[in-house]
């Protein structure tokens, strides 16, 4: 299996697991919390079928990657991404981030040169800034995140069960309507195997302010978000991200939960493939 070493912790390497398939224009898919690159199952097949080279990887602490006890901040996570695309020598590649993965997309484009990046996509993304502050009244109270941290510490497996019920809006979409019990269980299995420390540390990482990063984005950008998202409500996230990214396009998935990669895969894939087929780069944002 392919791995890239991105650091060390004491006597061991910190290795990221990645998959690199197909040919054509590269697309890098960055997964959400607390899942892995396997969560892109329905998108990988569509992208490969459309003639793209598709790269997925597991964030440190998740999936088949190493499970270090450090590095769960967006500067480090974006650096991990940079090391991967550099190792693969990717050019004219699109960055696609889901949920927490949207943070890597934002921080990468805010911190690194973008001449090799062709496009950016934010799906059910955490951006622009989740925490409610005096200059961000649309955000979420800190107490909500503190409650999540307490629940993870108290009983992480039980927390994950409730989390995925809301992730997929199982009460409405479950029972094989748009998400099967088995697909929900698969997500739980992946999440349960993640680093307990990494799972917990990422919660505070969600409070990162990406507004300046978004303002620096100088590539065509697509935002896709469900209007029934219970994890990252669209009013605080998806509808606000285009306010900071000049010229970006927002697509609202009607009835879409947080986990639209699975429940509304046909809609997501159609929008993704249509967007990736557009080639122009817009002028640099000051």
User: Which positions are catalytic?
Assistant: 99, 229, 258
Return the closest-CA partner of residue 39 out of 225, 199, 194, 261.
261
3-state secondary structure the chain: CCEEEEEEECCEEEEEEEEEECCCCEEEEECCCCCCHHHHHHHHHHHHHCCCEEEEECCCCCCCCCCCCCCCCHHHHHHHHHHHHHHCCCCCEEEEEECCHHHHHHHHHHHCCCCCEEEEEEECCCCCCCECECCECCCECHHHHHHHHHHHHHHHHHHHHHHHHHHCCHHHHCCCCCCCHHHHHHHHHHHHCCCHHHHHHHHHHCCCCCHHHHHCCCCCEEEEEECCCCCCCCCCCCCCHHHHCCCCEEEEECCCCCCHHHHCHHHHHHHHHHHHCCCCCCCCCC
């Amino acid at each position: 299996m392919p791995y890239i070493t991105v650091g060390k912790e004491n006597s061991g390497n910190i290795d990221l697991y990645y998959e690199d398939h197909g040919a054509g224009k590269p697309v890098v898919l960055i997964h959400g919390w607390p899942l892995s690159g396997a969560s892109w199952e329905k998108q990988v097949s569509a992208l490969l079928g459309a003639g793209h080279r598709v790269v997925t990887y597991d964030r440190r602490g998740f999936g088949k990657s190493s499970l270090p006890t450090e590095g769960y901040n967006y500067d480090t996570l974006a650096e991990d991404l940079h090391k991967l695309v550099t190792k693969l020598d990717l050019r004219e590649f699109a960055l696609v981030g889901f949920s927490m993965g949207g943070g890597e997309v934002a921080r990468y484009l805010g911190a690194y040169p973008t001449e090799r990046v062709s496009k950016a996509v934010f799906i059910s993304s955490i951006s622009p800034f989740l925490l409610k502050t005096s200059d961000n009244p649309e955000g979420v109270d800190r107490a909500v995140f503190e409650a999540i941290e307490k629940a993870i510490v108290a009983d992480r497996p039980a927390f994950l069960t409730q989390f995925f019920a809301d992730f997929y809006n199982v009460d409405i979409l479950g029972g094989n309507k748009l998400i099967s019990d088995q697909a929900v269980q698969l997500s739980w299995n992946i999440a349960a195997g993640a680093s307990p420390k990494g799972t917990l540390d990422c919660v505070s990482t969600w409070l990162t302010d990406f507004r300046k990063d978004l303002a620096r984005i100088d590539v065509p950008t697509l935002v896709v978000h469900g209007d029934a998202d219970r994890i990252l409500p669209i009013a605080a996230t998806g509808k606000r991200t285009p306010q900071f990214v000049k010229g970006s396009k927002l697509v609202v998935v009607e009835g879409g939960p947080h986990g639209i990669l699975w429940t509304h895969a046909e809609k997501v894939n159609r929008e993704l493939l249509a967007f990736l087929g557009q080639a122009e780069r817009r002028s640099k944002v000051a």
